[in-house]
Chains A and B, each alone.
Chain A
């Protein structure tokens, strides 16, 4: 639902970076999106196409790396997919869990043709 506004925030970062590379064509944008980050990659790609189709980034590819939602048990140190650990550690039953990954929403790098 908020993929459009996420897309606009991303494009502001992209614009600021591309300004430093005048004349270059943007080929790919690499993102890292956690499964628990409330961003739907398909919707984000749709939003990106709609926003960029008639501008300098038309045809640029959005490459999204999905990061699984993983919890780590602080008691025994084991990590599990979040679904398995949501009610406590399946191995030692501790509920002292930390989210290890899966909340990311990062822009990693751009690939440009200079």
Chain B
């Protein structure tokens, strides 16, 4: 018997492709967000509400990851987004390779922002880096307030958590402070916003956050270009 040492992350191949994607996105100067949540938390609704507020001045692409239908893609197209649907055929998450394979079909050069709506699932997508700038976890008030502790890995990697459906809070037992504290413990760098994608409360702060991130990304871009000359 012989031992052969490997010492690798099982997803090292995904990680490698994610790095390539990140480089492609950076070269195109586009801000990329990977949106992860349980089914029904409001990912598509948030995209619709966001597009209503920015689609006139910014070019937005959406990559829709879904098990089968094109319904979400139709919804965001109706609000002015371009983009593409990836049907995972039952798969519970997007991978860096699936994103890589559709990049050629997207006009990244003219785009400002790419939103990736991951397959509705709080578990599986969390370990697959897609090459995004921002990993956004969306939680909704109706899911209960015990989620961060139950799914530590997703919050550990997230740069933004959005607590959606704040309009429903008066009707629910939901300890917002506890949720925010649990997220802070898991990841002190994770920013937290509260909003109602449907009713509009808190949407302005989110749009400001997005614009700031885009400006920061472009800042990196120009200083990078300057360094390059």
Contacts and interface: CB of A to CB of B under 8 A. Distances in A.
Interface of A: 1-2, 5-6, 9-10, 12-13, 17, 21, 24, 27, 31, 36-38, 69, 71, 82-83, 85-88, 95-97, 99, 102-103, 105-114
Interface string B80-112: 000000000001110100000000000000000
A12 to B, nearest CB: 6
Task: Kindly name the residue among A9, A12, A31, A102 whose own CB sees the greatest number of chain B CB atoms within 10 A.
Answer: A9
A9 B153 CA distance: 19
Contacts of B5: 108-109
Given A1-B92, A13-B12, A38-B123, A110 B6 contact: yes
A106 B127 contact: no
B184 interface: yes
Contact of B153 (A37, A87, A114): A37
29 contacts: A1-B92, A1-B123, A2-B124, A13-B10, A36-B152, A37-B153, A38-B126, A38-B151, A85-B185, A86-B149, A86-B182, A87-B185, A88-B181, A88-B185, A95-B181, A96-B188, A97-B185, A99-B152, A99-B156, A106-B7, A107-B9, A109-B4, A109-B6, A111-B1, A112-B1, A112-B2, A113-B1, A113-B2, A114-B2
B209 to A, nearest CB: 23
Contacts of A13: 6, 8, 10, 12-13
A80 B6 CA distance: 30
B13 A9 contact: yes
B1 A106 contact: no
A62 B20 CA distance: 31
B178 interface: yes
B45 interface: no
B11 interface: yes
A106 B102 CA distance: 29
B3 interface: yes
A21 B14 CA distance: 25
A112 B1 CA distance: 6
A107 B9 CA distance: 6
